[in-house]
A = this chain, B = another copy of it.
């Protein structure tokens, strides 16, 4: 019913952008925040370093005691204590005294410099000083890195291991993050059966339930799957229920004219079809609608088309739902081959790319999963290009650059 008027990809994406929203915010303990997105700014409760600390392994001392010292004319001090990293000394340094100190340890009271170990000799508690230092030398002053109250991380930051370290150091044991989107994946198709070594006539193994679920999870979301038979009332009921219970609904199958548009008609009957049919390859019959304020992405039953549609339409939407303002990182590579395309259509071509070159995977039927297995990237041919020539610098999107985990 809709497929005849194909939308350009960019217009389709704009229509999806219009209803982009983020999930709600939840508070999680710090050991559960890896690969989540901050839903608050983080302010440090502490100075960092929290005290004047040594920047070198050496000797804390009074700089003035070293003035004039050299290898030829060493000075002599008395070692009165030793401070490891994380330890501290209660002793106060007086004139002609020194304390052995480790990198990172707090400077003891009375000292105003650290002399590097390399410029000394020691024997018992006798220290021979062979070089002079200036006051403040080799000391990282308290709060030089972060001052108490400084904002150290912004809202919407992706939390990698190092961000967790900063959050912990700032004094937080729990933080606010965006909730993971809950996605209902509805697989349609009477012909689909569970993986098995034996198949009956026209039965096809339901691989989409595993593939698209894994892709949804690789976009940071939580996925439940159901398999529905190609019956209009049944599909309609299933989509309506999912729209109540989940943040997003994704369907596969039932979007091509030849199958009677069951899914498109179902969404049309209980909500609104925003578009059906996009000028792309693979994945032309892609549809998008809203039921009950819930976005419904309608993808093909053909596995490769569904994977491409997920990458084109759903992945970024899921990223942005989690507060991550994400854009694909497109890089340029030299094409080893000529690839024709059609003006007005955007192609996502399965490709093998390295640091310099790219070429397409030869076996490109939209049902041929092996072509996605051989590929590590898409060559993207814009709708304004009629194709690419051998030697052209072309747009490449590496699969592994689209991963949620960082």
Using CB atoms and an 8 Å cutoff, list the residues of chain A in contact with chain B.
30-31, 34, 45-46, 48-51, 53, 55, 57, 82-88, 100-106, 140, 145-146, 152-153, 160-173, 189-192, 194-199, 201-208, 210-215, 217-218, 253, 256-260, 301-303, 307, 331, 355, 363, 365-370, 372-373, 399-401, 403-406
Contacts and interface: CB of A to CB of B under 8 A. Distances in A.
A144 B163 CA distance: 50
B88 A166 contact: no
Nearest to A216: B161
B373 A211 contact: no
9 contacts: A50-B199, A88-B202, A102-B256, A103-B366, A145-B363, A153-B373, A165-B208, A173-B196, A218-B405
Contact of A152 (B57, B302, B370, B400): B370
B165 A85 contact: no
A30 B202 contact: no
A195 B217 contact: no
Contacts of A104: 301-302, 366-367
A86 B202 contact: yes
Contacts of A172: 195
A307 B100 contact: no
Given A46-B199, A162-B307, A369-B162, A86 B191 contact: yes
A264 to B, nearest CB: 14
Given A57-B258, A84-B258, A105-B258, 19 more contacts: A49-B367, A85-B259, A86-B190, A86-B301, A87-B202, A88-B201, A88-B202, A101-B258, A102-B258, A145-B365, A145-B370, A160-B214, A161-B211, A161-B215, A165-B303, A172-B195, A173-B196, A218-B405, A405-B405
Contacts of A31: 210, 213
A168 B145 contact: no
Contacts of A363: 145
Contacts of A204: 50, 86
A373 B158 CA distance: 10
A301 B195 CA distance: 49
B355 A331 contact: yes
A399 B170 CA distance: 23
Interface centre among A104, A172, A208, A365 (most CB of B within 10 A): A104
A231 to B, nearest CB: 13
Contact of A169 (B198, B202, B369): B369
Contacts of A164: 207, 210-211, 214
Nearest to A367: B104
